[in-house]
Amino acid sequence: MPVDLFTEKIDQNKSIEPRDPMPDDYRYHLIRQISQHAHSEVIGMQPEGNWITRAPSLRSKMILLAKIQDEGGHGLYLYSAAETLGISREEMIEQLQTGKARYSNIFNYPALTWADIGAIGWLVDGAAIVNQVMLQRTSYGPYARAMVRICKEESFHQRQGYEIMAKMAAGTPEQHEMAQDALNRWWAPALMMFGPPDAESLHSKKAFQWKIKRESNDALRQKFIDKTVQQTEVIGLKIPDPGLRFNEETGHYETSPLNWDEFYRVINGNGPCNRQRIEHHKKVHAEGQWVREAAAAYAEKLRTGVLEQ
């Protein structure tokens, strides 16, 4: 395989397209990353979907419905981008359901109050944006282009989530408490969305060489922290970290070490919602089997002329 062509393109910062030669490792790395990203969008519909039927106003219900639809749409773009690498959506779903493919660990945490809908938009979508801005320049063309569309919508979600938090923080004492409680629970998991510290990160080295990844986990995490601490102060909430301090010399906020044991425990299956999320996905997929079969049978009847029009 003319891998030299591939290396040349990478060196020149040209994007790799589906028909270009590419090393198998590159292809597998991308399939793993893009499908994981697609699954995250789709699984993420569950915790937010958990609050659609209890959204407290027509406006907030519509915003949430539209947001979750966007996330499903992101899942679609990303499945399509992964398909250009030679894997089908069915295979990807199979990998998700058998635990071979992962989704973002953040969705193994529960959405317990309406403030969680604010916290998810503000922090989870906020962290996703920091990651994804970098991915708009990732070396694989279809992935980079999907990210450009996705990033625009994610910033909407982030603002809408922040608005919910701001409103609740300024609301009744109970609302304020709910907002602070949601921040307390989502803060550390959101910081862990950037992945383990650079020193421990398994997949990072090659991803840098291939220009799939362009900034380190810790650098991205720091960006997110700096931005979020300030936003938190503005709405009168507190970052749940007694060790938080501003370092005048570096111009960055410093935080306490994160509990990575918890991260690994959750990511390996023992979080509050791991089982629930996958069971939900499997159940719905199984219930939809007859519908997909009907659609396929009907399409086949049209194709073979058994039915008209």
Partner 1 sequence: MTKKDALFQYCLRLGDDAVVLGHRLAELCSRGPFLEEDLALTNIALDLTGQAQLFFLYAAELDNKGQSADDLVYRRPERQFYNHLLCEQPNTDFGYTIVRQFLFSAYHCFLLEDLCTSQDEHLADISKKALKESRYHLSHATDWMVRLGQGTKESKQRAQQALDALWMYTGELFEMDDIDLQLLEANVAADLHTIRNMWQQEIAQTLKRAGLQQPEDNFMQTGSRKGVHTEHLGHLLAEMQSLVRAYPEAAW
Tokens at residue 17, please? 């397209």
> Residues 32-51: x/- map of binding to partner 1 (CB under 8 A)?
----------x--xx--x--
Q: For partner 1, which stretch binds (CB under 8 A), given 181-189, 216-224, 251-259, 281-289?
A: 281-289
Query: What's the longest Cα–Cα distance across the chain?
Result: 76
Q: Binding residues for Fe ion, per CB under 5 A?
A: 41, 71, 74, 125, 128, 154, 157
Contact of 134 with 214, CB cutoff 8 Å: yes
61 lines the binding site for partner 1 (CB under 8 A): yes
Q: For partner 1, which stretch binds (CB under 8 A), given 96-104, 141-149, 206-214, 290-298?
A: 290-298
Partner that binds at residue 102, options Fe ion, partner 1, none, CB closer than 5 to 8 Å by kind: none
* Residue type present at position 193: M
Partner that binds at residue 13, options partner 1, Fe ion, none, CB closer than 5 to 8 Å by kind: none
User: Given the complex with partner 1, which of 265 and 301 has the nearer CB atom?
Assistant: 301
Q: Please state, in angstroms and rounded to a whole number, the distance separating the CA atoms of residues 290 and 285.
A: 10
Partner that binds at residue 125, options partner 1, Fe ion, none, CB closer than 5 to 8 Å by kind: Fe ion
Within a 10 A sphere around the Cβ of 116, how many other Cβ atoms?
A: 26
Q: How many residues bind partner 1 (CB under 8 A)?
A: 46
User: 3-state SS string over 290-309?
Assistant: HHHHHHHHHHHHHHCCCCCC
Partner that binds at residue 288, options Fe ion, partner 1, none, CB closer than 5 to 8 Å by kind: partner 1
Using alpha carbons, list the distances in angstroms from residue 162 to 115, 124, 168, 179, 228: 10, 11, 10, 11, 10
236 lines the binding site for partner 1 (CB under 8 A): no
Torsion on CA atoms 207, 208, 211, 212, rounded to nearest 10: 30
Using alpha carbons, list the distances in angstroms from residue 27 to 30, 71, 127, 209: 5, 25, 26, 14
> Residues 69-88: x/- map of binding to partner 1 (CB under 8 A)?
x--xx-xx--x---------
Alpha-carbon Rg for the chain in angstroms: 21
User: Given the complex with Fe ion, which of 71 and 116 has the nearer CB atom?
Assistant: 71
Long-range contacts of 49-57 (CB under 8 A, 24+ apart): 50/110, 50/111, 51/111, 51/114, 51/116, 51/117, 54/114, 55/114, 55/117, 56/114
User: Given the complex with partner 1, which of 70 and 241 has the nearer CB atom?
Assistant: 70
Partner that binds at residue 49, options Fe ion, partner 1, none, CB closer than 5 to 8 Å by kind: partner 1
Site residues for partner 1, 134-173, by CB under 8 A, read: 164, 167-168, 171-172
Q: Please state, in angstroms and rounded to a whole number, the distance separating the CA atoms of residues 104 and 296.
A: 31
> Shortest gap between Cβ of 298 and partner 1 (angstroms)?
5
Residues in contact with partner 1 by the rule CB under 8 A:
42, 45-46, 49, 52-54, 56-62, 65-66, 68-69, 72-73, 75-76, 79, 114, 164, 167-168, 171-172, 174-175, 280, 284, 287-295, 297-298, 301, 307
